[in-house]
Every structure is written in C-alpha cells, then in structure tokens.
Amino acid sequence: GQSLEQPSEVTAVEGAIVQINCTYQTSGFYGLSWYQQHDGGAPTFLSYNALDGLEETGRFSSFLSRSDSYGYLLLQELQMKDSASYFCAVREDTNAGKSTFGDGTTLTVKP
Amino acid sequence: DAGVIQSPRHEVTEMGQEVTLRCKPISGHDYLFWYRQTMMRGLELLIYFNNNVPIDDSGMPEDRFSAKMPNASFSTLKIQPSEPRDSAVYFCASTSIDTYNEQFFGPGTRLTVL
C-alpha cells in the first residue's frame, strides 16, 4: 500500500527552529513536496525535492534521502504566522500527475 | 493570473439532493485535480485530468460521484444523491508540465449535507 507518516502535532516558540519529518512508502517515487495550509485556507506549495540533499528557500529548507524514504521540512526563525498545518506529498508519476498527501502536521508557534 | 477559481465557496444542502461543484483552472495548465479534505481522512485525491481526459479516478468514493472536464477551462464534480458523509472541503488544483513540482490549489468549496 501507499503511506506517508508525519507527526500529528508540533509546538515551538517564536524564533526557534523546528523540523517536521516525513517517511513514505509508495508504489512510485519521483519527488517529495511540502505544502502549508492555514486554518480555513488552501494548501500552498513550499518546496520540492527530487534528489537527495537540502533545498533552501528563505527561512524554510527541505531535505530528502531517497535511500531512507525520508524527508523533512526545517523552519527557522519561527514566527507566529508559521502556525499552520504542513503536508508532505509524494509525486508518483513521471509527469505532473498523481501525488499522495500525508495527514499533515499541525504546528503551533507560541510567543 | 486570478489563480484557480472554485464555486460555490460554501454549499449547504439536504441529503438526497444533487450537488455540483465548479472549478476553473489556471490558464495554460493542462492538469486538473479534485481533492476532498476531512478531519478523518485528510486530503484525498478523487480524480485527475490531463488535457481534459480523466487519467485516474480510483479515488472517487462511489458511483454517486462523477467529474467532467468539457474544456480546458472548466471542470465539475457532481454528487448525486448527496449524503451527510459527503460533508467536507473539496479542493480543485491545477498544474502543468512547466510547473509540475507544484500544484496550485483553489480556495475550496465547503460542503455541508444535512
């Protein structure tokens, strides 16, 4: 079967660093994406990794290890506005097709 | 660009009624996805289209659900008859080969079936 596992909840304080892990078991793998979703809003794209290693975009970084079927999203210098749900998603097609989403991690940033 | 447009934003209906959700993808995008999000089941892919053709509908829960894409700028998801367990937020997303790493989501339709 196909499964993605990520922690259900994470709490951190403003200014801190937090890491959200994602492990996956899918029939196909072409890349790992991360999305952010604020309460009542739509998921928005944060980052994508197709190859092993770290991708950095401002305060957010994403890491992938294909051999370990594992990735993480790293959020630095946390701000209150970072409080949201974060989803990892595996792209299973060679083209722009099917992605399977994890259940999401709710991040709460406290003052 | 206006982004992905969905209508209605909220829909309240009674069990047994037909519900039609609408989506306009971003111009130039040739992939369109329909997702359903609930607390219990998370974000589930229902069906996706490529160049207006349904590619994978394995996520469609049952025959009460149907989706069409008559042209590149419009898609519908229909539920007939609706049931209370269909209550969820339904998202439409689009992308293209040029932006394949990223799916662009619409604001969603919050459906409540009484």
Q: Is A85 on the interface with B (CB under 8 A)?
A: no
Whether A71 contacts chain B with CB within 8 A: no
Chain B residue set in contact with A, beta carbons under 8 Å? 30-31, 35, 42-45, 48, 50, 55-56, 91, 93, 95-97, 99-108
The answer to whether residue A1 scores a pLDDT higher than 60 is no
A104/B100 CB distance under 8 A: no
For residue A27, what pLDDT is reported? 82
- Distance, CA of B92 to CA of A20 (rounded, Å): 26
Confidence at B100, pLDDT banded by 50, 70, 90 = confident
- Is A66's Cβ below 8 Å from some Cβ in B? no
Q: How many CB atoms lie within 10 A of CB A111?
A: 6
B113, pLDDT greater than 80 = yes
pLDDT of A90: 94
Work out the pLDDT band at A2, boundaries 50, 70, 90.
confident
To 10 degrees, the CA torsion angle through B44, B46, B51, B54?
Answer: 150
pLDDT digits (tens, 9 = 90+) for B47-88: 999 999 999 999 998 899 999 999 999 999 999 999 999 999
What number is the average pLDDT over the span A97-106? 91
- Split at pLDDT 50, 70, 90, the class of B41 is confident
Residue pair A90/A1 in contact (Cβ under 8 Å)? The answer is: no
pLDDT in tens, A42-82: 999 999 999 999 999 899 999 999 999 999 999 999 999 99
B4 confidence band (pLDDT: 50, 70, 90): very high
- Nearest CB neighbour to B42, from listed A95, A98, A104: A104
Give me chain B's average pLDDT, please.
Answer: 95
- A42 → chain B, closest CA residue: B107
Residues of chain A neighbouring B31 (CB-CB closer than 8 A)? 95-97
* Three-class DSSP category at A18: strand
Residue A109 confidence (pLDDT) above 90? yes
* Cβ neighbours of A9 in B, within 8 Å: none
| Comparison of pLDDT for B112 and B41, the residue scoring more | B112
Side chain identity at residue A16, one-letter code: A
Q: What is the pLDDT of residue A74?
A: 98
Percent of the residues in chain A that have a pLDDT greater than 70, as a whole number = 99
Average pLDDT of the segment spanning A88-98: 83
pLDDT of residue A40 exceeding 60, the answer is: yes
